[in-house]
A and B are shown apart, each in its own frame.
Chain A
Amino acid sequence: MVAVSGLMQRPLEKVSGLLRRHFHWIAPMVLQVTVCEAINQSMDKELERDEKVFLLGEEVAQYDGTYKVSQGLWKIYGDKRIIDIPIYEMGFAGNAVGTAMGGLRPICEFMTFNFSMQAIDQDINSGLPPMPIVFRGPNDTSAGMAAQHSQCFAAQYGYCPGLNVDELMYGVPFEFHSEAQSKHLLISIGKAKIERQGTHITIVAYSKPVGHCLEAATVLSKEGIECEVINMRTIRPMDIETIEASVMKTNHLITVEGGWSQFGVRAEICGRIMEGPAFNFLDAPPVCVTGPEVPMPYAKILEDNSIPQVKDIKFAIKKHIKYLVWT
């Protein structure tokens, strides 16, 4: 899932001292929440917080959202704030930017980011002068979607100054601690997260491949290789400082993404590493794991081999093994 916004960064709000005292003797309540549900909850919070926020998209209201991300919101907020629109991507992206110009704070949903290509002029050219608008929707592959419904747009949108581009992951449940359940929790856009600490090799990924990287790291840990897995979270602005600090610690870099390799996100990561202080700490060239350079095929055997898998990540790490110096 991609969220592209022209919003300026918002600071992290700390939980108040009073709440902290109230909670210290209660064990934190941990829920299992999927990213879909988390987006639903955060849209709900923003709709409640600010009257100027509204959601528009195809099937977002009465159908509860194609992928149920906006489930229940129309029943709470009604026709004015949750708007079903006809199918007219170029037009509605432009309309959404127009409402932002008019002082509102739109959340504009693309049913998938493949369809955003029809609207890319409005997304980029019209949406650029800092415009408080969020374009969101599913990105990259899903099973059996074939060529026109499987593309990753992280690189295309990451290319543009003025946009903020976030990558999240539908469908998979994550643990959601009590602090994260707070209405007031805000997290900065543009900060990567170190999902797993390690010392031997840095793996940088975003979206679905992060899960694959963690799986590969768990397996390789049994062989004594400790991988540090970084979840980029935001494509633009890229948190290159976190990646650099990690590479300067481990001396090895692997990037993993679902999109194609030529001009992909990996190209930017490698380019920045080479320009910055971390280059001198590399003991070997970075290895990049990407989707093969083919339009996404439909047949299962071909599709499985067109998306980076855990085995591809393990293979890339093992290729590095000969460079690893054991202390």
Chain B
Amino acid sequence: MRKMLAAVSRVLSGVSQKPASRVLVASRNFANDATFEIKKCDLHRLEEGPPITTVLTREDGLRYYRMMQTVRRMELKADQLYKQKIIRGFCHLCDGQEACCVGLEAGINPTDHLITAYRAHGFTFTRGLSVREILAELTGRRGGCAKGKGGSMHMYAKNFYGGNGIVGAQVPLGAGIALACKYNGKDEVCLTLYGDGAANQGQIFEAYNMAALWKLPCIFICENNRYGMGTSVERAAASTDYYKRGDFIPGLRVDGMDVLCVREATRFAAAYCRSGKGPILMELQTYRYHGHSMSDPGVSYRTREEIQEVRSKSDPIMLLKDRMVNSNLASVEELKEIDVEVRKEIEDAAQFATADPEPPLEELGYHIYSSDPPFEVRGANQWIKFKSIS
């Protein structure tokens, strides 16, 4: 909680800094808020959906912009560090999908819960961890959020359950978290995310059934970025209407490139769950610019023209920026300053992530259990022992 508040205050204080060059900007009269039309969601088993207009305040707009830009820059920095071989193993980047993580967070409370698969760096940030902790985890250093032991696919925070490497396995987990929410009676919901590739896993349908049967406060969210690794949705799914795949579970198909559309849909879905009606399903139509992971160039199964077209017409950061500038919620210069601040934040974090030392070898056996008394762990042979502390 403290870490999350620190992260939010860092973001907000960034907005309120006033160096000399911003005196001119500050003196300009911006609108406090503006109303925007958003795309109507396709509905499944629902009479009504989220509203088709929404009000965006200047404060919220600047915050969403900064968060999306931070996720974007952080992912591009991870790309760079991976190519320098400072990040190893698997690295699945989410640039292009920023509206999903920022929009979802905007629609829920910090006390709600979220679980996703391995394309998780953006969610780790929006759920409250700092870029420093995330990049240091990617570089395998002791300052990482999992002490360097987890890497890209195993990052966790308060009310954020990762970071899961096995496709689809997180969905029954998410339904289980929702069961715990209902059991505890605290009016919390669980956002359970999966991709279009995972959407054909049997265990997801098992989770749908138990969530609907027991009316669990679970929002199933399919982040449909059109490709499951190298396989397009048409080649993997008999039905690509992922928002209808829950059958007896009502569903929404949402423009996942529009942060406001995602926010409104999430508010609607969360209210539905909190009213005790049971689970709901959201399909976010989105796009990833990078390949599936850093070992996939991402152009053997789709064209560069397609990637370029999405970048130029549907980029989520560009969409928000245009809306804010055209409605006088912010100026181009102000947003450029945020860009500069974000770049600096990422650079500082990358410096930390490359300079921080690796975890000590003595801690190899630590944290196997959560609350056991210390014991000894066998090493590579019977004479090597590591101490294990919970």
Contact = CB atoms under 8 A, between A and B. Distances in A.
B380 A308 contact: yes
Contacts of B361: 301-302, 305
Contacts of B380: 289-292, 305, 308-309, 312
Contacts of B301: 62-63
B174 to A, nearest CB: 17
Contacts of A59: 229-231
A316 B381 CA distance: 8
B201 interface: yes
Contacts, number: 153
Interface residues of A, number: 49
Given A143-B89, A302-B361, A87 B198 contact: yes
B365 interface: yes
Contacts of A302: 148-149, 358-359, 361, 363-364
Contacts of B363: 302
B89 A146 contact: yes
Contact of B236 (A66, A86, A144, A287): A86
A148 B173 CA distance: 15
B149 A297 contact: yes
Given A86-B200, A117-B166, A142-B89, 13 more contacts: A59-B229, A87-B197, A118-B169, A143-B89, A145-B89, A146-B154, A146-B165, A148-B164, A287-B381, A292-B377, A297-B364, A299-B148, A299-B359
A301 B358 contact: yes
Interface stretch (B47-55, B56-64, B382-390): B382-390
B278 interface: no
A156 to B, nearest CB: 16
B31 interface: no
A56 to B, nearest CB: 13
B169 A295 contact: no
Contacts of B149: 146, 297-299, 302
Contacts of B151: 144, 146, 298
A298 B88 CA distance: 9
A88 B194 CA distance: 14
Interface of B: 88-90, 140-142, 146, 148-154, 164-169, 197-198, 200-203, 228-231, 235-237, 300-301, 358-359, 361, 363-365, 368, 377-384, 386
A114 interface: yes
7 contacts: A87-B198, A88-B201, A144-B88, A149-B153, A298-B88, A299-B149, A305-B380
A59 B300 CA distance: 12
Contacts of B198: 87
A275 interface: no
Contacts of B358: 299-302
A91 interface: yes
A288 B381 contact: yes
B140 A86 contact: no
A294 interface: yes
Contact of A305 (B148, B150, B153, B364): B364
Contact of B386 (A66, A114, A292, A316): A292
Of A91, A292, A306, A315, chain B has the most CB atoms within 10 Å of the CB of: A292
Contact of B154 (A147, A289, A291, A308): A147
A149 B148 CA distance: 16
A58 B382 contact: no
Contacts of A312: 380-381
Of A88, A308, A316, chain B has the most CB atoms within 10 Å of the CB of: A88
Interface in A99-157: 114-115, 117-118, 142-149
A114 B88 CA distance: 19
A118 B235 CA distance: 22
A148 B88 contact: no
Contacts of B231: 58-59, 62-63, 84, 86
A306 B359 CA distance: 14
A228 to B, nearest CB: 19
A145 B153 CA distance: 9
A299 B377 contact: no
A88 B228 CA distance: 12
Contacts of A146: 89-90, 149-154, 165
A90 interface: yes
B150 A292 contact: no
B90 A145 contact: yes
A142 B379 CA distance: 19
A63 B200 CA distance: 19
Nearest to B204: A88
Contact of A144 (B90, B203, B359): B90
A298 B230 contact: no
B140 A149 contact: no
B180 to A, nearest CB: 22
A297 B365 CA distance: 10
Contact of A299 (B140, B165, B237, B386): B140
A87 B166 contact: no
A34 interface: no
B202 A63 contact: no
A242 interface: no
Given A62-B301, A84-B231, A289-B381, A90 B365 contact: no
